[in-house]
């Protein structure tokens, strides 16, 4: 009988497993729906098919993930897409060089507000609240009213300073003219504690991954006002992170780990497999949440408010299609640009060189070669220029179908024009820092895929 692995990737995959430096690994994860690639790689036998015996360790916070990987207590982990960069640069903790050669998926977040705040926003600007996607314009009116009354700023939760959640929340606020550092208070809260903090009144809202938005909606505690996909279509979310020394010490094991997770991602993007995955990750040792809540977003539906019918959300979790597993260096550049934009980096750096040291598409291409997977022929692409399907050239020939990548406010991120991207951040950056940054990042000597860069690099 032909196995699923053979039907999708051929019969030659095991030959790449000869001489693994290590076969027994411990990987960390957080109780979120998008831990599914790690969970299903173990539960459905994809790790075993690559000769790996993997133990999964559920961790309490992203800081714990970072520290345990850095200390060698974990071989690697599900990480926030910005975390290997932040760790390498020493943002929020002593520097420790990390790398990623695999994206674990796109999208998966949402912003949820307390029912009390939602009602205030409805009263302040019902027209803005009825729009889809929902802007923060009504929230700005509430904030202005509170300031006039002498009230303290509202508190919002995000999961880590280097998370897509932090930057998506900031992006949503800033697009409506709200200063995330002056007009509100942002604090770090572990994902599984968001709902409890919302219920206790310690948070007015939060940005988090599933199932913790749908859990608040289900309990009638909050309204999900916008998904991460609506802020940035098909944004990077989680990655596989390891230390640089681990990657260099165990290169064959690293490649086998990547192959197993790429196989799992392809399996997860098969619609018929989402039900089985939802059942598996709902278990107490993994996400420990009602399977019907996990199943909702896993099968492409999202509920914005208590008692409402779920709406179609076919891109809420993308694990494999549209080159979702590819570690784009331009994604890393976007995260570094956001760190600069919001004052997390106090010195100018060569963004492209830093991104190239942390995000490793070269390792990815080598790892998946035995699987026959088409890989992009370049490492950078624009973001925000495509409102619908588009395509990129594959290194092996042919094309890879891509999907929309629009931002909420219509901006375009071009990795070949970093100074232009940070133009609106200039008031936050000392002139000397801005000048040094522009000098270091005046050109990107690499081809860029996408509409904006086509004239220069096509």
Q: How much is the mean pLDDT over the chain? A: 93
pLDDT of residue 6: 44
Residue 54 predicted with pLDDT over 90: yes
Three-class SS of 365-383: HHHHHHHCCCCECCCEECE
Residue 16 predicted with pLDDT over 60:
no
Confidence at residue 455, expressed as pLDDT on a 0 to 100 scale: 41
Q: How far apart are CA 446 and CA 236, in angstroms?
A: 21
**R_g over Cα of the chain:** 21
Task: Tell me which residue of 336, 334, 350 sits closest to 413, measured CA to CA.
Answer: 334
Q: What is the mean pLDDT of residues 410-437?
A: 85
Lowest mean pLDDT among 74-83, 89-98, 445-454: 445-454
Averaged pLDDT for residues 252-263? 98
Strands 236-243 and 98-99, sheet pairing: antiparallel
- At residue 260, what are phi and psi to the nearest 5 degrees? -60, -40
Instruction: Give the model's pLDDT for residue 13.
Output: 43
Select from 226, 205, 227, 228 the least CA-distant residue to 216.
205
CB-based contact 21:253 (threshold 8 Å): yes
pLDDT of residue 12: 42
What confidence score (pLDDT) does residue 437 get?
87
Q: What's residue 452's pLDDT?
A: 62
Min mean pLDDT across 76-85, 92-101, 436-445 is at 436-445
Half-sphere exposure of 426 (CA within 13 A, CB side): 9
Nearest-5° Cα angle at 164, 393 to 375: 20
CA distances from 345 to 80, 319, 428 (A): 18, 31, 12
Question: Does 458 score more than 50 pLDDT?
Answer: no
Whole-number Cα distances in Å, 249 to 75, 103, 369:
11, 21, 21
pLDDT at 386: 96
Question: How does 265-280 read in b/e, with b if 16+ C-beta sit within 10 Å?
Answer: bbbbbeeebbeebbeb
Q: Which pLDDT score, from 0 to 100, does residue 435 have?
A: 85
Give the C-alpha separation, 359 to 100, whole Å. Answer: 5
Residue 17 pLDDT exceeds 80 = no
pLDDT at position 457: 36
pLDDT for the residue numbered 40: 98
Segment 357-384, tens digit of pLDDT: 999 999 999 999 999 999 999 999 999 9
Query: Residue 420 has what pLDDT?
Result: 85
């Amino acid at each position: 009988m032909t196995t699923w692995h053979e039907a999708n990737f051929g019969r030659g995959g095991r030959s790449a497993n000869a001489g693994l430096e290590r076969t027994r690994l411990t990987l960390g994860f957080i109780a979120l729906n998008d831990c599914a690639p790690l969970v299903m790689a173990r539960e459905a036998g994809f790790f075993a098919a690559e000769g790996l015996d993997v133990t999964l360790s559920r961790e309490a916070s992203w800081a714990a993930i970072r520290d345990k990987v850095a200390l060698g207590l974990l071989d690697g982990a599900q990480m926030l897409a910005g975390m290997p960069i932040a760790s390498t640069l020493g943002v929020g903790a002593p520097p420790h060089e990390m790398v990623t050669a695999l994206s674990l998926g796109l999208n998966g977040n949402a912003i949820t507000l307390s029912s009390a705040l939602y009602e205030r926003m409805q009263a302040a600007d019902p027209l803005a609240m009825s729009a889809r996607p929902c802007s923060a314009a009504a929230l700005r009116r509430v904030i202005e009213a509170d300031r006039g009354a002498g009230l303290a700023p509202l508190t919002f939760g995000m999961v880590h300073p280097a998370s897509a959640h932090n930057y998506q929340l900031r992006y949503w606020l800033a697009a409506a003219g709200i200063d995330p550092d002056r007009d509100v208070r942002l604090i770090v809260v572990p994902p599984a504690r968001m709902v409890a903090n919302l219920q206790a009144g310690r948070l007015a809202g939060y940005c988090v991954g599933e199932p913790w938005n749908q859990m608040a909606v289900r309990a009638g505690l909050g309204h999900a006002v916008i998904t991460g996909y609506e802020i940035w279509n098909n944004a990077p979310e989680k990655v596989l992170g390891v230390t640089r020394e681990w990657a260099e010490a165990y290169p064959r094991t690293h490649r086998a780990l990547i192959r197993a997770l790429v196989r799992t991602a392809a399996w997860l993007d098969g619609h018929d497999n989402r039900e089985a995955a939802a059942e598996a990750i709902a278990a107490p040792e993994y996400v420990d949440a009602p399977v019907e809540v996990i199943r909702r977003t896993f099968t492409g539906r999202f509920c914005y408010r208590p008692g409402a019918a779920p709406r179609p959300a076919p891109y809420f979790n993308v694990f494999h299609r549209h080159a979702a597993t590819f570690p784009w260096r331009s994604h890393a550049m976007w995260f570094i640009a956001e760190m600069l934009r919001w004052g997390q980096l106090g010195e100018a750096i060569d963004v492209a060189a830093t991104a190239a040291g942390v995000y490793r598409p070269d390792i990815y291409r080598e790892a998946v070669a035995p699987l026959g997977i088409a890989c992009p022929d370049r490492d950078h692409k624009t973001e925000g220029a495509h409102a619908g399907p588009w395509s990129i050239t594959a290194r092996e020939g042919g094309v890879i179908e891509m999907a929309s990548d629009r931002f909420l406010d219509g901006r375009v991120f071009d990795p070949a024009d970093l100074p232009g991207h940070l133009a609106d951040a200039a008031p936050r950056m000392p002139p000397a820092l801005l000048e040094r940054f522009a000098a270091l990042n005046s050109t990107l000597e690499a081809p860029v895929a996408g509409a904006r860069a086509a004239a220069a690099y096509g």
